[in-house]
Structure 1
Amino acid sequence: MSQWITVCDLEKIFPATGICALVDGKQVAIFRPSEESQVYALNNMDPFAHSNVLSRGVICEHQEQLWVASPLKKQRFNLKDGSCLENSEVSVDVYNVRVADGKVEVQL
């Protein structure tokens, strides 16, 4: 059975930024691309740099899709499916995430 874990209040994530949360022992990067309540969650580990830095990346748009650019090696990862724009053989894990009653929750 899956469980939703509350991470923080939505208002704690500034629009156009990301945060890192420790969820069940895993570093999860949670992104809020705009003023809206839509959020995305990826594994925080940059598979190229082998560092937990994706939450510090820059949110960008390419071909009408949202991506995060790693702050170290600059590869872009799709916020919906975790795929890498620059290397189709690499991806990061994606987590189910939602906003419920103003709280950001990640599903285990």
Structure 2
Amino acid sequence: MTPTAADTATRTTWLAACLLDDLEPEWGEVALHGRRQIALVRLRDDEVYAVDHLDPHTGAPVMARGIVGSRGERPTIASPLHKEVYDLGTGECFTDAALALRTYRTRIVGGMIEVELDG
């Protein structure tokens, strides 16, 4: 049986990761959900992004230690290993079109950062 949109929606969960105040602006931290490692990045305007902690190029768990910046209006993170630059919102790699960083939606509820996870 093929899952419907309603079935898929019920499998989406929100992970309470940490308080917004626990993150320093322009710096990453890692949230763990089972074996999944998610890098959280808080910007100066308190917008929070979540991406896979694993570097798409090497597979090393290092993205939370990446260099936060921007390309125009698009917030970015650069891998600390080989300096590939990724869009924090879309995961697009600006320096190598063959690479992409998985992104997750975030929200802040009562000061708590929550990350949307599938299944």
For structure 1, the residue ranges without an aligned partner over 5 or more in a row are none
Shift of 1:49: 2.2
Partner of residue 29 from structure 2, selected from 1, 7, 19: 19
Where do 1:87-102 residues align within 5 Å? 87-102=96-111
Partner of residue 79 from structure 2, selected from 62, 70, 92: 70
Is the CA contact (8 Å cut-off) linking 1:59 and 1:69 kept in structure 2? yes
For structure 2, the residue ranges without an aligned partner over 5 or more in a row are 1-9
- What corresponds to 1:42 in structure 2? 51
| Regions of 4+ moved over 6 Å | none
> How many residue pairs were aligned?
107
TM-score w.r.t. the length of structure 2 is 0.85
Shift of 1:80: 0.3
Could you tell me how far apart the structure 1 residues matched to 2:72 and 2:98 are? 20
Identity of aligned residues (%): 31
Could you tell me how far apart the structure 2 residues matched to 1:69 and 1:33 are? 14
Residue identity in the other structure for 1:98: R
The alignment partner of 1:51 has SS state of coil
Where do 1:78-93 residues align within 5 Å? 78-93=87-102
* Pair 1:53 & 2:62 matched: yes
Is the CA contact (8 Å cut-off) linking 1:38 and 1:99 kept in structure 2? no
Could you tell me how far apart the structure 1 residues matched to 2:56 and 2:109 are? 31
Could you tell me how far apart the structure 2 residues matched to 1:24 and 1:59 are? 26
Shift of 1:25: 2.4
Q: Which one has the largest radius of gyration?
A: 2
More helix by share: 2
